[in-house]
A and B are shown apart, each in its own frame.
Chain A
Amino acid sequence: MDDIRLLIDFGSTFTKVVAVDLDKVEVVATARVPSTVESDITVGLGEALKKIEVNTGIGDLEEREALACSSAAGGLRMVCAGFVPELTSKAANQAALGAGAKVTGCYSHKLTRQEIKEIEVTAPDIVLLSGGTDGGDEKVIIHNAKMVSRTGNAVPNIIIAGNKTAYDEIRAIFSDNSKNVLYTRNVMPEIGVLDVAPCNREIRELFMKNIIEAKGIARAKSIIKDVIMPTPSAVLEAARLIADGYEGAAGFGELIVIDVGGATTDVHSIAQGKPAQADTVVTGLPEPYEKRTVEGDLGLKYNLDRLLELVRGRETPPNFDTIVQGFHEGKLPLTDEEKACHRLLSCLTVEVAMSRHAGRIEVVYGPTGERLVQHGKDLTHVKIVIGTGGPIIFSGSCHEILEHVLFREEDPFSLKPENPRFYVDEQYVLYAVGLLSQVEPDKALNIARKYLKQI
């Protein structure tokens, strides 16, 4: 019997399974069934596995070794609260995004009662508190800890990742509190230093231990081995592996992954992002080498209204308004006219998401002349862009859509890739590569090499 590994993604609409033959480095079967997380996650999982069993002849043995990621039941929802918006709040936000979370709120300075009410309504899986460099400001994080300690059951998990000097006092605040409070290293221990890895690990651990339990996802463990990370995190793991390679095996080098979905669009860049021009000064918080941004207002199914605002003033295909109304009602693009409309919306999504992810150059005029200041990452020299997500994969015009990530002469200050090669994740294997990278990184890399198609 070949060594077959099952890799599963519990999405909010579909449960997807990929079966990979590790010896032959081959995808032997895939299945996609509607999610049943609202009632009983194991029902949909069972159905999907049955399809795979028929096609491959695998059985319980493989199923018990299967690994999964999940974005079902709202994904991993987090609220971040720090002190200064462009410093510790931003650092906390980066940590949450890097751990695959959906950030439902990001607050700065001392939290008010009104904001606490908002947070309770949002009911996030985790509240992440940062604030102060080590030895710096303690007042804000202590105040915020007090405020959060008074919230009800809507806020079950709290991670503290701020000024360590404040921890003793914060521990005292939570001493007779039923909340699950975890303490980790400061996400910004000193000015100019971003240290999100320890916080990322805490988040993932919490996700595996508590959050999937609370969402009913953990039931899947009666059939498979474990649900080990949120789906966006699996995609980021895959992106890193493909870029950096593993031990002897070289990767693709610096790259960008753009993942267009129904509700959001994710952009991952695995790149240093240093200025291409020597005389540029970089300002602001250092950017993570593995950076993820999520555009919560850009999705091809749930966020059409926002997209339509962006369409205004552009040339649209015939019957655009009526056709988009159909998308609103859940119709998928089938005719050429419909596809043209969907393509336009996908192109726009990619363009806007890439512009927001990429850094910008600002020309500052001062007494001694002009100076170039870079905010964010310079991605002009990134040579690889990988597209994934239904709207790209099934569009039939991946290249045209992905071209919208490109640097444009009309907007020379946006540091988008100038001359990359495009790849498409045709078989939806990226999340599977990310999951597999945790146990068989060399084979995961080979799967990626084989199934990412250059276009």
Chain B
Amino acid sequence: MKKAPTIITGTVGMDAHVIGTKIVSRTLKDAGFNVVALGMQVSPEEFISVAQETNADAILITSLYGMAELDLKEFNEKRMEAGLGDMLLYIGGNLVIGRYDPREVEPRFKKLGFDRVYPPETDIVEVIESDLKKDLKAKGKM
């Protein structure tokens, strides 16, 4: 059996809304993943260096304050440069300010390198079961 995949969680930039990432971290742990919970207000650079050192398989970012797009500008380029091109990137939450159409926002974050983009009130158990496990298996990491 392969060892449990390592998943990094946290909120990015100056986002102090910590509940989402706590729920995500807890649920991932319960599902048997190795979780590195960085908590709130994590800089893009910290996500990258921690991913290198822990040999992480995925980063799950939660965001509520609507500024994630600004915070994650060039994140994809930086992680490519750091040799982390194979790592899965997920993001979910209130990704832009105000009411928005998730179908419009999703491609913007995909362009930033995210494999999966989720709207507010997404069920994390479903994300783990139907997407994360599948994506990790496809990469031979589970």
Contact = CB atoms under 8 A, between A and B. Distances in A.
B41 interface: yes
Contact of A137 (B34, B54, B71): B54
Contacts of A57: none
A132 interface: yes
Chain A interface residue bracket vs B:
20 to 34
A233 interface: no
A281 interface: yes
Given A135-B34, A283-B46, A368 B52 contact: no
Interface centre among A135, A136, A138 (most CB of B within 10 A): A136
Interface in B19-39: 34, 36, 38
Given A135-B3, A136-B6, A191-B38, A368 B14 contact: yes
Interface string A74-104: 0000000001101110000000000000000
Nearest to B82: A84
Interface centre among A133, A139, A191, A364 (most CB of B within 10 A): A191
Interface in A118-162: 131-133, 135-139
A366 B46 CA distance: 17
A137 B54 CA distance: 5
A138 B54 CA distance: 9
Nearest to B45: A86
B13 A367 contact: yes
A190 interface: yes
A88 B53 contact: yes
Contacts of A88: 53
Contact of B53 (A84, A281, A368): A84
A188 interface: yes
B70 A136 contact: no
B79 to A, nearest CB: 13
Given A86-B49, A87-B49, A367 B65 contact: yes
Interface residues of B, number: 21
B54 A133 contact: yes
A366 B6 contact: no
B50 interface: yes
Contact of B36 (A84, A86, A191): A191
A306 interface: no
Given A368-B14, A371-B14, A83 B41 contact: no
Contacts of A191: 36, 38, 50, 53-54
Interface string A190-209: 11000000000000000000
B52 A137 contact: yes
Given A191-B36, A367-B65, A367-B67, A136 B14 contact: no
Contacts of B53: 83-84, 87-88, 131-133, 136-137, 188, 191
B64 to A, nearest CB: 11
Interface in B67-123: 67, 70-71
A368 B55 contact: no
A190 B8 CA distance: 12
Contacts of A281: 41
B54 A136 contact: yes
Contacts of B56: 136
Interface centre among B41, B54, B71 (most CB of A within 10 A): B54
B55 A136 contact: yes
Nearest to B34: A135
Nearest to A85: B49
Nearest to B50: A191
A416 B141 CA distance: 48
A368 B65 contact: yes
Nearest to B83: A109
A366 B14 CA distance: 7
A86 B46 CA distance: 10
Contacts of B34: 135
B87 to A, nearest CB: 12
Interface in A348-399: 364, 366-368, 371
Given A135-B6, A191-B36, A283-B46, A83 B52 contact: yes
Nearest to A190: B36
Contacts of B41: 281, 371
A70 to B, nearest CB: 35
Contact of A84 (B43, B49, B67): B49
Nearest to A133: B54
A384 to B, nearest CB: 34
Nearest to A369: B14
Contacts of A366: 13-14, 67, 71
Contacts of B67: 366-368
A139 B53 CA distance: 10
9 smallest beta-carbon distances between A and B, as pairs:
A136-B54, A366-B14, A137-B55, A367-B67, A84-B49, A136-B55, A87-B53, A84-B53, A133-B54
13 contacts: A84-B52, A131-B53, A132-B53, A132-B54, A136-B54, A136-B55, A138-B55, A188-B53, A191-B38, A191-B54, A364-B14, A367-B65, A367-B70
Given A87-B50, A368-B65, A371-B41, 9 more contacts: A83-B52, A84-B49, A84-B53, A132-B54, A133-B53, A133-B54, A283-B43, A367-B67, A367-B70
